[in-house]
Structure 1
Amino acid sequence: MSKTKLIGDTSGQNEEANTNHMTGDLQNVRATYRLNEKNYLKWSQFVKTYLKGKERLSHLLRTDPTPEDPTFNAWDEANSIIMSWLWDSMDLAISDTCMFLKTAKEIWDSIRRTYSKARDAVQVYEIKVKTSATKQGSKTMKCADDAAILKTFIEKDRVYDFLAGLNSEFDQVMIQILGNEEIPSLEETITLIWA
């Protein structure tokens, strides 16, 4: 097995490490931590913890050395291994979206922007703004009937919002609730979740 110098951090200190061993370690990712559209927080925590334990977290958080830097080749080799591992730790549809990025940090930042809760909050806000801007215009309204329909719609919307915010441990109960012909009220939904 060949020995290769890899960068542990950007402070200029190099460490000896077995590249083949590092590659094998990084590719043995448990499928439960494979990134999909719903588990970004768990996946990102796993990745950060794992890379920190391998003294490679700097590849996700810091700027890259320049090609003129004497440590660049070792850094670039480790970076390629981390990029490969990141792609392997994602569902195929997600890894395809970042396949042509040049560094592990670029992949990390792209995935964070796409799947983090902060991005979800922005999307929810944009939808709420568009909804608030919706006007009745020239459409007529039959007061009692339309008010009842709107009340039912709002109640269902609250249930959907509540269910969408639940952790994956409640998936089975959520499936049962959504499988009913009639969506229960928010209060009934909360009771079912706590049961």
Structure 2
Amino acid sequence: MADPIAEVVNTESQNTQEQLQNLNIAYRLNGKNYLKWAQLVHRTLKGQGKAKHLTEDAPKEEDPKFTKWDEEDSMIMAWLWNSMIPEITDTCMFLNSAKEIWNAMEQTYSKAKDAAQIYDVKVKTVAAKQGNKTVTEYANQLKSLWMELDHYKVIKAKCLDDSAMLKEYIEQDRVYDFLVGLNSDFDQVRV
């Protein structure tokens, strides 16, 4: 007679494997797109109920949950490696868990490169023009860049009044950025 608990565990492991194999990653980590890659990876794994592999340590080997955890973690590690360009994969190929890979990528590509990332986003913001895009497409392009800047430039004000004034200043500055990039058809709006 088959062990019903073992069957459930095997079925769950198979489902996890199939789910991870069917995931396509739109952003392969290339060293310049960490923020979008990390967001996509975290949300994807969270949607599969597997985000804990990025943030929690494995159960002890004596724990009955260890084998399942280890199998899932190995699949997630392989999926993470496949979501990176080969040069980056090579730097973390011999790490022992998905959490170690995740932490190594965060340490290498997140806050350590803020100045370069901020510069890159600012250049893209200044260079953004409406061109052949609709006003909505152009506005969405800028909004995406501004959201990325907000991630990197967290400003902590000591009082609420200063915070409100700073937010108003930033929003006003962004309106100017938007107006500068509009096509000449909108010159009347800029006046």
Q: What is the distance in 2 between the residues matched to 1:49 and 1:167?
A: 28
1:18 is paired with a residue whose SS is helix
Residue of structure 2 equivalent to 1:71: 65
Q: What is the distance in 2 between the residues matched to 1:4 and 1:101?
A: 30
In structure 2, the CA distance between the partners of 1:108 and 1:167, relative to structure 1 (3 Å rule), is farther
Contact 1:66 1:72 in 2 (8 A): yes
Contact 1:29 1:89 in 2 (8 A): no
Q: What is the distance in 1 between the residues matched to 2:123 and 2:78?
A: 29
Find out whether 1:18 has 2:12 as its counterpart.
yes
User: C-alpha offsets along residues 81-122 of structure 1, whole Å, 9 cap, x if unaligned?
Assistant: 110111111111111110000000000000000111x1113x
Q: What is the distance in 2 between the residues matched to 1:70 and 1:172?
A: 55
User: C-alpha offsets along residues 122-159 of structure 1, whole Å, 9 cap, x if unaligned?
Assistant: x76xxxxxxxxxxxxxxxxxxxxxxxxxxxxxxxxxxx
Q: Decide which of 32, 39, 43 is 1:45's aligned counterpart.
A: 39
- Letter aligned with residue 120 of structure 1: K
Q: What is the distance in 1 between the residues matched to 2:15 and 2:70?
A: 17
Contact 1:4 1:17 in 2 (8 A): yes
Counting strand residues as a fraction of each chain, which structure ranks higher? 1
Residue of structure 1 equivalent to 2:76: 82
Gaps of 5+ in 2: 1-5, 130-176, 183-191
Gaps of 5+ in 1: 6-15, 125-160, 174-189
2:18 is paired with a residue whose SS is helix
**Larger Cα-atom Rg:** 1
Q: What is the distance in 1 between the residues matched to 2:100 and 2:81?
A: 12
Contact 2:30 2:84 in 1 (8 A): yes
Per-residue deviation at 1:3?
A: 4.6
In structure 2, the CA distance between the partners of 1:81 and 1:167, relative to structure 1 (3 Å rule), is farther
Residue of structure 1 equivalent to 2:105: 111
Q: Decide which of 30, 33, 51 is 1:36's aligned counterpart.
A: 30
Of all paired residues, the percent bearing the same amino acid is: 40
Contact 1:4 1:74 in 2 (8 A): no
Per-residue deviation at 1:32?
A: 2.6
* Number of corresponding residues: 129
Residue of structure 2 equivalent to 1:93: 87
Q: What is the distance in 1 between the residues matched to 2:38 and 2:99?
A: 13
- Letter aligned with residue 39 of structure 2: Q
Per-residue deviation at 1:66?
A: 1.3
- Letter aligned with residue 181 of structure 2: W
Residue of structure 1 equivalent to 2:113: 120
In structure 2, the CA distance between the partners of 1:169 and 1:73, relative to structure 1 (3 Å rule), is farther
TM-score relative to the length of structure 2? 0.57
Q: Decide which of 121, 142, 155 is 1:165's aligned counterpart.
A: 121
Q: Decide which of 48, 52, 65 is 1:54's aligned counterpart.
A: 48
Per-residue deviation at 1:21?
A: 3.2
What RMSD, in angstroms, separates the aligned Cα atoms of the two structures?
Answer: 3.1
TM-score relative to the length of structure 1? 0.56
